[in-house]
Amino acid sequence: MSESRGAVLVALVMAAVVALAIILPTTSEQPTQIVTETAGPATSAASGNAPFTALQKNDIRNTVREYLLDNPQVIVEAIEALQARQQQSQQQQNHGAIAANMEQLVNTRRDPFIGNPDASVTVVEFFDYQCPYCKRMAQDLAKIATEDPDVKIIFKEFPVFGRESTMATRAALASAKQGKYAEFHLAIMGLRGAPSENALFRIASRLGMDLDRLRRDMQSPSIETQIQTNLQLARQVGVRGTPAFIVGDQLVPGAMSPDQMRQLIAEKRGS
C-alpha cells in the first residue's frame, strides 16, 4: 500500500469516528449542576465555567451533522490538506537525509556510472533488475548520458525482488572489475523475465569476459558490503521502491519519461 493511500484510509477512519461521535449521543452524560441561591450567581455554559448540558451537546451534534451533510466536500478538503502536510513533511525529511548522505550518494568511487565524471548535475538511480519500469528506462538513461556532456548517472544496485535480483546484482558489480559494467547492465535490463544464472553467463561470454573470474568476484565480500551499504543508504534517504532517482538534492520516486528527466536535469543545472 502506498503512503498516500494509507494517509487517505487513516483520514477516512478518523472522519468516520468523528461522524459517529457527532451523530450518536454519548452514553454517559454529566448530570446538570444545580446551583442554589446561597452558592452565589449561577454559572452557565455560555460563561465558559460549566460543562455543556446534554441538550446543548445534542444541539451541537445536530448542527455539525447538518453542516457535514450539506457540505460533504469539507471532509475531502480535510483529507487533501492532511495529505499535503504529510507530503511536505516527508519532502523536508528526505531533503535533510539527502544532504546528510550526499557524500555517500555521489562520491563513492566503487559505484559504477556513465557520463561525465566531472558533470555539474548528478543523477543517482536506485534500481532492481526485475523492475519493469527500471528496464523501460535503462536505454533512455544511457541515451541521455550520451547526448548530454554535462551529466553523470550513478547506478546504485538495489536488489529488492528476491534471489534472482541479488544474483544479477552480484554479477553486474563483478563485471565492473573487468571494465564491462555498462554493457553488462544494459544486457541484463534487456532480458525477459527473471535473470537466470545461465542467462547472466551467456551475456558475460558474449562480452568476452573471464567467466571464472566473474564467478569468483560475484562471491567477493566487498560486493556483499556494497549491496548492504546501498540497501541501508536507500532507507536513510527515503527510497521505498524502484526506480527511484536523486537528481541534485531532490528525491524523485518512480519512472519518468526521457523528456521529464531531461527537464529535471536542466532545472538542476540552472538552479
The tens digit of pLDDT for each residue in 106-121 reads 988 899 999 999 999 9
User: Tell me, what CATH number does 150's domain have?
Assistant: 3.40.30.10
* Contact indicator for 192, 225 with CB cutoff of 8 Å: no
Strands 151-157 and 250-253: unpaired
32 pLDDT more than 70: no
**Coil, strand or helix at 127:** strand
pTM over 0.75: no
User: How far, CA to CA in Å, does 187 sit from each of 74, 135, 198, 220?
Assistant: 52, 10, 13, 22
DSSP-H helix ranges across 36-162: 54-70, 73-100, 102-106, 132-147
Contact partners, residue 137, CB within 8 Å, separation at least 6: 243, 255, 256
Looking at residue 89, its pLDDT comes to: 58
Residues 227 and 139 both lie in one domain: yes
Residues spanned by the domain of 212: 103-270
Same structural domain for residues 112 and 81?
Answer: no
pLDDT tens-digit series, residues 85-109:
766 655 656 678 899 999 999 988 8
pLDDT of residue 27: 41
What is the pLDDT of the chain when averaged over all its residues? 83
Q: How far apart are CA 12 and CA 112, in angstroms?
A: 45
Q: Are residues 168 and 62 in the same domain?
A: no
- Both 69 and 111 in one domain: the answer is no
Q: How many domains does the chain have?
A: 2
Least Cα distance to 27 among 57, 51, 50 occurs for 57
